[in-house]
Structures are given as C-alpha cells and as structure tokens.
Amino acid sequence: MTDTAQVRQPERPVVHDEGGMDYLERLPRKVVTVYIPLAIIVFVLLFPFYWMGISTFKTNAELHAYKGIQALWVYEPTLENLRYLLWDTEYPRWVWNTMLVTVTSTFLSIFCAVCAAYSIERLRFTGARYVGMAIFLAYLVPPSILFIPLAIMVFKLGLFDSNLALILTYPTILIPFCTWLLMGYFRSIPYELEECALVDGATRLQILTKIILPLAVPGLISAGIFAFTLSWNEFIYALTFISSAENKTVPVGAITELITFDVYNWGALMAGALLGSLPVAIFYSFFVEHYVSSMTGAVKE
Amino acid sequence: MAVLQEALPVQDVSFWIRLKNNRNALGFLFMLPAAVMLLVFLTYPLGLGIWLGLTDWKIGRDGVFIGLDNYLWLFDDAVFLLSVFNTFLYTVVASLVKFAVGLWLAMLLNNNLPFKAFLRAIVLLPFIVPTVLSALAFWWIYDSQDSVISWILIEMGLRETTIDFLGDPNNARASVIAANIWRGVPFVAITLLAGLQTISPSLYEAATIDGASEWQRFRFITFPLLTPIIAVVMTFSVLFTFTDFQLIWVMTRGGPINATHLMATLSYQRAIIGGALGEGAAIATAMIPFLLGAILFSYFGLQRRKWQQGGTDD
C-alpha cells in the first residue's frame, strides 16, 4: 500500500527559487509598476459589488439625491429594501427553485460524468479517444444556439414552466465540463491499483466506488463547485422555459418581476442581486483552491 | 486469460461474466447515462435547430420546409446585418482588451505579493457571481440620471451633464463592451497566471545575465512559453463572448435602435418574443460557422505548439 502515498500528486512542474529575481526590485519602483496598477484593477473589479451592497441599504431618497462625496456611503441605512424583497415579492420562492434545480442537476451531472470519465479513461473501449474529443466539443456548444429547439422539445414533452425542464437541460452544460475535468483526475491515479483489485476479483463497479472515487475526491469537489456555479448562473434556458412567477429562478425573477412599470426600484433590485450572489460567493470562498486549480487545470489539458 | 476461458465448460461462462470482462460492453454501459443526456438534450436539438432554420415554424403552429428562404430573407434584413456587425465588434474589441488587461493582471499577480492567495480569490469574484446579477449592478451604474460614474465626473469638474450611457448607440456599445470586459478579465488573468507560474525563474535569470531587457524577457521567454495557454483561453473567451446573451439582455435588450443587438439576443427576440421560431433558429444557426472557425483555428494553432510543452511535434 505504499503506492497510495504517491497517488494524488498532480503533475505540477517544480519551480525552484521562490521569488526569483524579486530581490532586484526596489520598493519605490515596485509601488509604481506593481502596486498602483494592481490596486486600480482590483478596485474596478470590486466596485460594482461595493455599489450593489451600498445601494441595498440606501433609502429611496438617498439613492436619487447625490450630495457630494456622501453618495459613496450610506447615511441612513435601511432594511426596507430587503424586507420588501423577502416579504412582498416571491424572491424566497425563486431562491428555493434555484437551489432545487442547481443541486439536482449538479448531482445528476456528476453521476453521469463519473461514469463517462471512468469509461473513457479507464475502460478504454474502442473509440474512447474520439468519444473524449466529442465530449470536449460538446462543451463548446453554447446554450444560445440550443434554446430555440430545446424550447420546442420542452413544450412537446409537456415540461414547459416546470423545474424538471431546467433539471434536464442544465446537465447538457455541466456534463461535458465535469467529464473533462474528471478524466484528468482519473488519469493521475495509477493503473497498478486497479490491476491489483482486478486480480483480487473486484468488479469494475467496485473498483470505481471503492478505489477510484475515494482517490478522486478533490476532483469531485471541483466538478461539484463548477457545476453548482454554472447552473446557478444559467439564464437563457430559465428565461425561455419558465413563464409563471412562482417557478422562476433568481436571475430570471430578478430581471422580469422586480422591475415594475417604468420606475425602477433600484434598492430592491440591488438587494436581489446581492442576495442572489451571496450563496455562490460563500460556496466559492470555501473551495477557492479547488475552483482555481480545476479551472486552470482543465484549460491546460 | 483466453486459454483459461476456453478450458472452462461453455455453460459456466455465463452472459454476466462475459459482460464483466468485455471492455466494450462495460464501456458502453458506463457511458450510457451521459450519452443519453447529451444525445437527447444536446445533439438532437443541435440538429433540430439547423432543421428549424429551414422551416417557417411559429409558436403554436408547426412549420413546413421552406428551404433557404429564412437565410435569403435575413441577408436583406438590415437589423440582422447590424447584429452581425455588432457581434463582431463586441467579440473583437472585448476579447482584445480582455487579453491585454488579463495578461497584465496575471503578470502583476505573478509578483511576490502579500496576501497573494486572497488577492487571487477576490480577483475571480466577477467570474463567479451570476452574470445577470452583476449586469443588474452595471445597469444601475449606467443609469441615465443617477449614474455614479457621471456623478464622479461632474464632481471632479470634468463634465457638466450626466452621460447617457445606454441611451446613445455608441455609448451603449461601449458600455456593454466594458461590462463584458469586466466580467471576462478575471478568467483570462487567473488561467494565464497559472501558466506564468510554470515558467522557471532561472530562465529569466539566465536572460538577465545575458543582458536581455525587460521587454526582451517578455517577448522571448514569457510570450512563447505562454502561447499554448493563451490559445486555449482566448478560444474560450472568444466563443463565450460571441454567443453572449445575458449581459445585453439585462442592460439594453438590444436597444437603443438595435445598436447593441448581438446575434444571440436578436434570435431570442425574433423566436421567443416575436414567435418566429424558424427565423430565430436560422439566426442561431448562422453563428455555427463562426464558432467552428474559431475552434478549428485554435485546434490547428495548438497542434503546432505541442513541442513547447515537451510533447513531440507530430
């Protein structure tokens, strides 16, 4: 069993000398060439979130009356926008729908992806390579060219305006990516382990569940987070297949139901955007490393 | 194995055992869930979409085959041609800026910085947060009356009046492109950063000793070693920018006077709102050749670069 210690070591080129020639850089120079541009870019990247947060807690009067520098801060914080959102709209319902659809389609996709990746990477049936290529190409098919035919299919299947329509269509986005990701993980698990198990009389299913999956947990987590954020993000299918207010997901509900007449209730809209972003942001913050490594790893394949 | 099996009496080798030992049969079984999902909800609609583009299908009424009429009609349609132009403008400008800023950000983050992991995590936030929701924030930032950008410019004395970000055609184009860049830079930056981290500092040290300038180190070390990753990242970026729908739909719905209509938004408007599913599908299908072009370009671009990653050149 000494092999297991060496199993989960992804091939990462070894970079010696942390810091490199950094010692040659003088501080004032580094401030101008690195810190200032970095600060500006990070500021621009984060400002919309700040603005979203600030606007959530502003009263309507404060949102529209700019008084000098004060606009960048809240002076009369109010929870009115959140109260309106949570009690006077169907927002909680949309959160529940999104959760349900996201979690179900994530698990469905992971299941399909695990089987497919194991099959392509380990069983190596005839033509496995081409199936792998096809899976990759499937990832490149964008939802914006599929939504019209899918709308017709969903309608004919009688799934229009139901959660099931989304649960069944989201995996088309998720499976290709998850499979591709897991193929990379499975590849890093040595063949010898599997051969030992085969000699000991294990079936392929036992090998998959007792050997491969426990070793591929980081990959499963990465695929899970990716699938979760992708389906939480999804918009065009939900916009097309769902029509009644109580079945909408957060992104669709926020832009179709919160905008009443021509007067935009910016406070409530921003509150909706903030609350809708939080679950993904929190989920992401727990698994940043997995997320980053899977994203960069999948691209490097 | 084969010898052993032949030695056994035939009835002992049950169907089940043969199945368990047949890689192709097992492979097929394991592929089944994913294959069914993808064939039914991806391949079939892809074909259906292409066929729909050749019919006059409307909502509530099945269509009949009308050949290339949709396409002939579209090529005379000024709005469609404008949307093609917009799509190209949007994709080219946004991708170039995303690449430039992303590469720059990646190189900045590749320095020895305090809180590096934390910085990397927050830089990726725009990519994580649902696009529709951040587009809402941009919509509010671009508000014609109470835009925070207008307000800051007025406060600094650079402008007298507010800017009509989404009301004027060219302003609207620039605004949605800016929002798209904001959303796409983190992905480009973080993936390129991962590529940068695999370049050994000793290469830079050797080059410096040989007298290479900063530009030469970038031009002859960083850039060539990074090209394979750049190719992949930019393919993804181009594909997803080209087929973008969410940002535009939230902020402008294609307006003002169709100035920001992309092919995806136009096809949604014609098909789902206008009810002309056939025509919408034709617009969506018209995107496929461009997507294929982008994929082939990067595929062949990548093949030639294999040797740079230590692979062989065949």
Residue A260: band (very low, low, confident or very high) from pLDDT cuts 50, 70, 90: low
- Whole-model pTM? 0.84
Inside any domain, residue A111? yes
Inside any domain, residue A55? no
ipTM summary value: 0.83
pLDDT of residue B224: 86
CA–CA separation, B15 vs B31, rounded Å? 20
Inside any domain, residue A10? no
How many residues are given for chain B? 314
Inside any domain, residue B13? no
The domain total for chain B is 1
CA distances from residue A54 to A63, A234, A296, B155 in whole angstroms, order as listed: 10, 26, 33, 19
Q: CATH number, domain at B203?
A: 1.10.3720.10
Arithmetic mean of pLDDT over chain A? 81
Per-residue pLDDT tens over the stretch B48-92: 989 888 888 887 777 777 888 888 888 888 899 999 999 999 999
Give residue B259's domain range.
66-309
CA–CA separation, B20 vs A299, rounded Å? 35
Residue B312: band (very low, low, confident or very high) from pLDDT cuts 50, 70, 90: very low
A140 and B132: CB-CB below 8 Å? no
Q: What is the DSSP string of B114-129?
A: TTHHHHHHHHTHHHHS
Structure token digits, residue B197: 């981290």
Per-residue pLDDT tens over the stretch A125-141: 888 888 888 888 888 88
Inside any domain, residue A77? no
Nearest to B230 by CA among B194, B261, B181, B257: B194
Inside any domain, residue B29? no
Residues of A in contact with B229 (CB under 8 A): 299-300
**Model confidence at B142: pLDDT above 50:** yes
B233 CB within 8 Å of a chain A CB? yes
Residues of B in contact with A136 (CB under 8 A): none
Per-residue pLDDT tens over the stretch B261-300: 898 999 998 888 888 888 889 999 999 998 888 888 777 7
Inside any domain, residue B20? no
Give A77 to chain B, closest Cα distance, Å: 18
**Model confidence at A299: pLDDT above 70:** no
CA–CA separation, B294 vs B288, rounded Å? 10
Q: CATH number, domain at A97?
A: 1.10.3720.10
Give residue A255's domain range.
82-300
**Testing the interface with B: which of A29, A270, A299, A301 to mutate, by most B Cβ within 10 A?**
A299
Residue indicated by tokens 């070793």: A215
Structure token digits, residue B3: 């010898």
Per-residue pLDDT tens over the stretch B8-34: 455 556 677 766 677 788 888 888 888
Inside any domain, residue A247? yes
Q: Residues B194-221: what's their mean pLDDT?
A: 87
Do B277 and B57 contact (CB within 8 A), yes or no? yes
Helices (H), A65-216: 80-83, 91-118, 128-139, 147-156, 163-169, 171-187, 191-199, 204-207, 213-215
The domain total for chain A is 1
Per-residue pLDDT tens over the stretch B152-192: 888 777 777 778 788 888 888 999 999 999 999 998 998 88
CA–CA separation, B259 vs B263, rounded Å? 12
Residues of B in contact with A13 (CB under 8 A): 198, 200
Inside any domain, residue B207? yes
Inside any domain, residue B41? no
Backbone angles phi, psi at B61, to 5 degrees: -145, 125
Arithmetic mean of pLDDT over chain B? 83
The burial class, CB within 10 Å (0-12 / 13-18 / 19+), for A145 is buried
Q: Residues A143-172: what's their mean pLDDT?
A: 89
